[in-house]
Amino acid sequence: MVVVRSVTMADLPGLLALVKGAGIGLTTLPDNPALLESRIAASIASQAGTAERADEQWLFVMEDIENARIVGVCGVAGFVGLRDPWYSYRVGTVVHASRELGIFTRTPTLFLSNDHTGATELCSLLLDATYRVGRNGALLSKSRFLFLAEFRQRFARKVIAELRGVSDASGHSPFWESLGRHFFSMDFAEADYLTGIGKKSFVAELMPKHPLYSSFLSPEAQAVIGETHELTRPARRLLEQEGFRFEGHVDIFDAGPALECELDDIDAVKKSSRAVVAGIVDDDADASSAPSLVANTSIQDFRVGLGRLRLDGEAVHISTSLAAALRVNVGDAVRIVALSPADRSGADARAREASTATARAS
Amino acid sequence: MIATPNSMFVLRPAEMADLPQIETIAARSAIGITSLPPDQQRLIEKISSSRYAFSSEVDIPGEETYFFVLENTSTGEIIGTSGIAASAGFHDRFYSYRNEIIVHASQELRVSNKIHALHLCHDLTGFSLLTSFYIDPQFAESAMPQLLSRARLLYIAEHRRRFADKLAAENPGVCDAEGRSPFWDAVGRRFFNMEYPQAEQLSGGRSKTFIAELMPQYPIYVPLLPPAAQLAIGQLHPDGELPFSILIDEGFEPDIYIDIFDGGPTVEARVDTLRSIRQQRRLPARVYTSSQTEGAMKPNDGNATMLQALVSNTRADRFRATLATVRIAGDEAHIEADVAAAIDVADGEALRVVALEIAPGAD
């Protein structure tokens, strides 16, 4: 059984081993022990409530309980860009038109922006390759939504997630080659590493400040603006199912998309609910029900697992192993939501369809 | 055709009677001299607006355009043209790209990069523009190009109120044998999707502003342009070498502005810093007949200097300039009677004179 839980300092060796196998593109988790240690420390300070708001960040690890092994990691940054500026390119359009000359040219542009300053960021998602099976990926990524739902007053209204852009097997990003390289004579991997160790704003300060005409970039670079790396496409689909959308902001280095959603509009946040553990049973409480995310309500030792539940009003029965993984007993509060949006409360789904229909009609 | 010893070449305002010859020149001149269009109607307008400019009382520079021709007075043949537009982009804007260096530096990362960028600007709006330079190739090696180009500066020196305190001149950028400009292909074409001559034709001979408004308004980062376009920035078309070098010798600055369409260098300078302006003198004329010449026009007089010089009258309308031997004695300019007749100066009247050879050390 796997559980997603708040990180502790004891996880450092396991975390380091995990990121060593990851390769380029995981900007926020560089292969750097000192930096990982400081990330863990910052997370612990946030759990304890001793971090300043601008520094709040939360790291969660996925543990294979039987093997006592760290197999995944994910994170949430409370408010980005309040210490160092947060940069992204906004994809825009400039029209050059002359009725007299019969000219109408639509030119895509890139504007350097700090638009996402103060947003909450989903970050640092990484799952060991051998564990990319079953529902592990969904559990790891979506566990954070229960955290956001449980502690929503700690987060911004807007939630973003930057997804890895397109690069080839050797780590060459066509966007970087066509743009960043001209302004900063280093490889994408190095820029990415500097970003990960907290120097992104330094790198950004070397990047072009004026709006760019995308048509001046190579065709290969133009083609990957807002495109997701092949390996990250499942993560993108997963976020999109929860309501996240690409609203035209891309990473300044690899042009990977930033997906956005209002916190209260995230489907898993909206549909999650509190329940009380009414009973602990040997097996899945109701093997016929859809798998659900279940989380405890502790900010210091937050834990999320998957189980099939029997929910009766606000009373829920969960399995012994899940209760152990979550460290909950009968009488404790939990937060639950069906793992798949399709399995979530029918009433809400109907409401959603109705509101979509209204939106279309208006 | 070739100048005989008796030939005299005089620069003067263009007249409508010159139209047939000017049309021939316009048809011959290279693509890129947009101020000399091979279009009869536009040439007629150009001559008549020039006639109006020369004959008007002008207190401040406006929409006047002055158009000069260089005539071989013994044959009536026109061997060159030049012009001045009093105020670039009058009533509107005059667009250029300004070369800029943006320093991208990070102390933390110990990196400092200088990035070359082109900034669309209106800096040269209101400058007086030197335009329309064309010389018959047979005279390219002679002193005639100097007369054609620099006599304009004598006119400006005499009539400062008609012109701005700063001058600029556009120069043709590089293009290949088919007239394709690598700069246009990399920049303008992205916004027009057509050949430059076609875009120009479409604009119907209206000011370039019309086209400029369709050009990219944000700075262009030069490293993002293809190599051929980068090389074309500030690069002169070989056909433009002669007039360009005359302006550079005068002290024009070539490195700041480029043409927004073909990337050719647009030179600029303050009038007061130009060598011909600084070295020219306004002196009363002493006119000598041939018989007097025997005694008075000899160079071996300790107080006098014999000069090969550009010399002009000081009239606004019936302006004339030529190349002649002038004897500067004290505060007088001694000229032969035929020179005086050619530039329409009477004994005792003021003239402007500047040595043909610019003395670089003298300023």
Q: Which residues of B touch A199 (CB under 8 A)?
A: 108-109
Residue B9 predicted with pLDDT over 60: yes
Domains, chain B, ordered by start: 9-95+122-275 (3.40.630.30), 280-362 (2.40.40.20)
Q: What ipTM goes with this model?
A: 0.71
Burial A14-30 (b: 16+ CB within 10 A, else e): bbbebbeebebbbbbbb
Q: Which residues of A touch B221 (CB under 8 A)?
A: 182-183, 208, 210, 212, 216
What average pLDDT does this structure show over B58-76?
A: 95
Residue type (1 letter), B126: G
- Are the Cβ atoms of A206 and B113 closer than 8 angstroms? yes
Q: Which residues pair with A294 in a beta bridge?
A: A305, A336
- Are the Cβ atoms of B192 and A185 closer than 8 angstroms? no
How many CB atoms sit inside 10 A of residue B317's CB? 10
Provide Rg for chain B, Cα atoms: 22
Looking at the complex, does the CB of residue A184 fall below 8 Å from at least one CB of chain B? yes
Which residues of A have a catalytic role annotated? 229
B88-98, pLDDT tens digit by residue? Answer: 887 778 889 99
Tokens coding A68: 């006592």
Mutate to test the interface with A, among B224, B225, B260 (most CBs of A within 10 A): B224
- Asked if residues A83 and A104 have their Cβ atoms less than 8 Å apart, the reply is no
Please give the Cα distance from A73 to B70 (Å, whole number). Answer: 82
What average pLDDT does this structure show over B19-43?
A: 80
- Per residue of chain A (362 residues), what is the pLDDT tens digit? 999 999 999 999 999 999 887 765 456 677 888 989 999 999 999 999 999 999 999 999 999 999 999 999 999 999 999 988 899 999 998 888 877 777 788 889 999 999 999 999 999 999 998 999 999 999 999 999 999 999 999 999 999 999 989 988 887 899 999 998 888 777 777 777 777 777 777 777 778 888 999 989 999 999 999 999 998 898 899 999 999 999 999 999 899 999 999 999 999 999 999 999 999 998 776 777 899 999 999 999 999 999 999 888 899 999 999 999 999 999 999 999 999 999 997 544 444 444 444 444 44
The superfamily (CATH) of domain A2-89+113-265 is Gcn5-related N-acetyltransferase (GNAT) (3.40.630.30)
Q: Which residues of B touch A190 (CB under 8 A)?
A: none
Phi, psi angles (nearest 5°) of residue B64: -65, 140
Q: Which of B109, B113, B210 faces A199 most closely, judged by CB atoms?
A: B109
- What is the domain partition of chain A in residue ranges? 2-89+113-265, 272-361
Please give the Cα distance from A216 to A222 (Å, whole number). Answer: 9
Tokens coding B79: 């061997």
Coil, strand, or helix at residue B81? Answer: strand
B293-344, pLDDT tens digit by residue? Answer: 555 555 556 678 889 999 999 999 999 999 999 999 889 999 999 999 999 9
Domains A2-89+113-265 and A272-361 share a fold: no
SS3 content of chain B, % helix, strand, coil (to 5): 35, 30, 35
Residue B175 predicted with pLDDT over 90: no
Q: Which residues pair with A94 in a beta bridge?
A: A107
Residue B250 predicted with pLDDT over 80: yes
Q: What is the CATH class of A272-361? A: mainly beta
